[in-house]
Amino acid sequence: MKHLILFLLSFYAAHAATKPNLLLVMVDDLGFSDLGCYGSEIDTPNLDRLAANGLRMTQFYNTAKCHSSRVSLLTGRWCRQAGDESMKRAVTIPEVLAPAGYFTAMTGKWHLDQQPTDFGFQRYFGHLSGVTNYYWGDKTFRLNGQPWTVPDHGFYTTTANVDQAIRFLGEARAEKKPWFLYIAFNAPHAPLQPLEADYKKYLGRYDVGWDTIRSTRVAKQKSIGLLPQDLPVSPRPDHIRPWDMLSPEQRDWESKRMAAYAALIDRVDQELGRLIVDLQTSRELDNTLILFVSDNGACPYDRANVHTDKEPYDPETHWTDSTGWAWARNAPFRYYKQNQFEGGISSPAILHWPAGLKTKAGSIVDGPAHLVDVLPSFAAVAAAAIPNEFSGRDLTPLAGCSLAPMLAGEKLTKRPPIHLLYGSDRGLRDGEWKIVSFQSQPWELYHIPSDRAETRNVAARYPDIVERMVKTWHAMTKDVLMSPAAENKPAAAEATEKIHREWTKYDKIVSSTKNKQVGELKPFTPATDLAGDWAMKPDPLLPNVLILGDSISIAYTRDVRALMKDTANVYRPMSANQKNPANCGDTTIGLANIDAWLAGKKWDVIHFNWGLWDLCYRNPASKAQGNRDKLNGKVSTPPDVYRRNLETLVGKLKATGARLVWASTTLVPDGEVGRCVGDDVKYNAIAAEVMKQHDIRIDDLFAASRKFESSMFVKPGDVHFTPEASRILATQVAQHLTELLGKK
């Protein structure tokens, strides 16, 4: 380390009268091919210019996980070795640079213990949490160690990070100090909440699908020299469905999700463009070392998608990740965030420093590097001493090495092995070879120079190399990382299917209004109709009737079935366990599940209803009566959306060829906690207009329920009815169904 510091002091003295400023930018969940200069179709002109005037690395590694990458980046050590989020066995970059005269500042996502101001940052703005709403933020926002309240209007996290960064730089200039600025964007991490203009820019661009986008990106990567022309490319895995095998609704949904991703990345580039202009105006750009990295590869975890019917720039939405697009975004590599295959650990890494870089502009560097190399590299260029002792911490040796030779235009000499571990996913890069294990399955071996995309596992051909590297991995895990014993157990002897429960399931229906996934809802089948409380043995000679509706319709369906026993088989959607009837909810849930409900049978008549859930006011902060709260809540489906949803649902129902009958929403009584008296009339009027347009008969249950005595409601202020009242509705429904079945 001493000879490198001496070399740099003499080398940079001829090129910079003052110490360089250091700008470190980390994005969240960025795929290897997500920037224009790494193969993408996304507009990233500012980052592309930095690459064109600086250098790009093709084998720059992270830890495949958010928090562990941040620990390694800040400390120059493996995450476990540093003490995980506590960093109690390490010092951080600002703690190294401040004694060398640097002003230190950070904006953005922290995701570690305590606060940045507890680890050497003199200024901080951002959120301590690992994820936040882009528009609303959360309660963990801090400004210089103190709680900071997100404004009610006009706030957007990506923009705010750069606003505050520019303010901090102004303070650094006032103090006439070189500065270290770390910006940790939460983009493009879920929730996918882009700005409206950015999102609309990309709408329709991804209708071609992930197969086409991935192949186009790989072709561009090869054409610009980022990857070798003869590189074998990993094929689409079995857990990703071919684009042309998705339903039209799935393709539309996935296309919009990728447009949201692209918009988030585009916005990061735009905001960095503002920061670059500020550096140019202050005449600091030339002597500012800029390093741009990501914390892991693209995220595949398709979790809770909320309000998929709304636009993603609505702060109430919460769209999450797509496994199919993660595969495309990590082109040309395999697997994803948390996995130690190249798709999980390979980041775009751009380095720009006109006053200090001795490489040719636009150079591409192929040697392996890692986030642990950042601290020793920054310390070297800043001529800052790395302490061996630090108050209150038990320091471990650095794991990283300085990238100074690379900055000077030289090749990196052989480096120590790169240890890879997150949870049960493992790996080790040592020279040309890499071993990797998916969730502690048998070790695989890849020769990286000839097979960067890890398409040919040669472990059986070179067992001696595997044995040597596995021993190294276990020794480092025990002695260097000091990991728990459970993480150092031998890998499994036999392989199983490589799958994860949170990867996208293309046959699973996702609710867009609840913060969870719901099981696929299917109509009765003869096999499940033979037992249970809702048992029915269908007669194959009778026509099939489907009843779709809310809890009101569930209450009358049994009686309808009994009344029509010799006239029709009466079905309704069942829950995933096939034991209880499914409440069809609001029109948004209907849109998410309608294809499953209609599948598997030829329907002769469909009796359908949506409304009471749509006009319901819900308050997410309240647990009373299913979140119903008309005083503090928000209506589930605004009238214009209700009309639009109904139009779509009617189109799908008509496509079955069944005769249709609409059931109007029943009465909302005075005193109902989550619904307003009069909304039933309003929503029924909208539905009546839609049904008239499509010539669909209306079964006026609202008029029937208006005649009910107060004793026929289960309790005052409740929309539900007693069994006696439900039987009255059932008689009316059965009459309409019988009449329709009698029509030719």
pLDDT tens per residue across span 190-213: 999 999 999 999 999 999 999 999
pLDDT classification of 547: cutoffs 50, 70, 90: very high
Q: Report, as an integer, the average pLDDT of 665-688.
A: 91
User: How many CB atoms neighbour CB 18 within 10 A?
Assistant: 11
Q: Which residue has the tokens 């499914």?
A: 582
Contacts with 39 (C-beta within 8 Å, 6 or more apart), sequence order:
33, 217, 218, 220, 221, 224, 226, 331
Q: Which residue has the tokens 């463009």?
A: 273
Residue 553 CA: distances (Å) to CA of 191, 585, 650? 35, 11, 18
Contacts with 461 (C-beta within 8 Å, 6 or more apart), sequence order:
none
Q: Is residue 582 over pLDDT 60?
A: yes
Query: In sequence order, what DSSP letters do the residues of 212-250 get, joined into one string?
Result: HHHHHHHHHHHHTTSS-TT---PPPPTTS--GGGS-HHH
Q: Report, as an integer, the average pLDDT of 82-109.
A: 97
Total length of the chain: 744
Q: Is residue 599 over pLDDT 90?
A: no
Query: In sequence order, what DSSP letters do the residues of 553-573 get, joined into one string?
Result: HHHHHHHHHHHTTTT-EEE-E
Q: Report, as an integer, the average pLDDT of 520-537.
A: 56
pLDDT of residue 411: 83
- The span from the CA of 109 to the CA of 28, in Å, is 9
Q: Is residue 660 over pLDDT 60?
A: yes
Helix ranges restricted to H, 586-722: 587-598, 639-654, 679-693, 701-706
Give which of 454, 587, 594 is closest to 520, Cα–Cα.
Answer: 594
pLDDT of residue 73: 98
Contact 45, 36 (CB under 8 A): yes
Which of 145-149, 198-202, 274-278, 724-728 shows the lowest mean pLDDT across its residues? 724-728
pLDDT of residue 622: 66
The better pLDDT of the pair 265, 598 is held by 265
Question: How deeply is 68 buried, as exposed, middle or buried, from its count of CB atoms within 10 A (0-12, 13-18, 19+)?
Answer: buried
Give which of 334, 329, 327 is closest to 294, Cα–Cα.
Answer: 329
Q: Report, as an integer, the average pLDDT of 258-275.
A: 98
Q: Is residue 12 over pLDDT 60?
A: no
Q: Is residue 1 over pLDDT 60?
A: no
Domains and CATH numbers, the chain: 2-414 (3.40.720.10), 522-741 (3.40.50.1110)
Give which of 348, 504, 349, 335 is closest to 436, Cα–Cα.
Answer: 335
Contact 318, 260 (CB under 8 A): no
pLDDT of residue 13: 45
pLDDT of residue 116: 98
Q: Which residue has the tokens 């069944």?
A: 658
Kindly report each contact of residues 112-115 with a partner whose C-beta sits within 8 Å and lies 24 or more positions away, as own/partner: 112/67, 112/70, 112/71, 112/85, 112/87, 113/85, 113/86, 113/87, 115/142, 115/145
Of all residues in the chain, what percent carry a pLDDT higher than 70? Answer: 92
DSSP state for residue 180 in the 8-state scheme: E
Exposed e or buried b for every residue in 504-519, given b needs 16+ CB within 10 A? bebeebbbbbbeebbe
Q: Is residue 342 over pLDDT 50?
A: yes
pLDDT of residue 626: 66
pLDDT of residue 631: 77
pLDDT of residue 276: 98
Both tokens of 434, joined, read: 């890499």
Q: Report, as an integer, the average pLDDT of 261-289.
A: 98
- The two counts, helices (H) then strands (E), for the chain are 20, 24
Q: Is residue 32 over pLDDT 50?
A: yes
Q: What is the pTM of this model?
A: 0.70
Compute the C-alpha angle 589/543/737, nearest 5°: 65
Q: Report, as an integer, the average pLDDT of 686-712.
A: 92
Of all residues in the chain, what percent carry a pLDDT higher than 90? Answer: 76
pLDDT classification of 634: cutoffs 50, 70, 90: confident
Q: Is residue 400 over pLDDT 90?
A: yes
pLDDT of residue 598: 87
pLDDT of residue 711: 84
Which of 145-149, 246-250, 261-265 shows the lowest mean pLDDT across its residues? 246-250
User: How many CB atoms neighbour CB 661 within 10 A?
Assistant: 22
Mean per-residue pLDDT over the chain, rounded: 91
Q: Is residue 10 over pLDDT 70?
A: no
Both tokens of 138, joined, read: 């959360």
Q: Report, as an integer, the average pLDDT of 145-156.
A: 96
Q: Report, as an integer, the average pLDDT of 464-469.
A: 98
pLDDT of residue 6: 47
Question: How deeply is 435 buried, as exposed, middle or buried, from its count of CB atoms within 10 A (0-12, 13-18, 19+)?
Answer: buried
Contact 42, 36 (CB under 8 A): yes
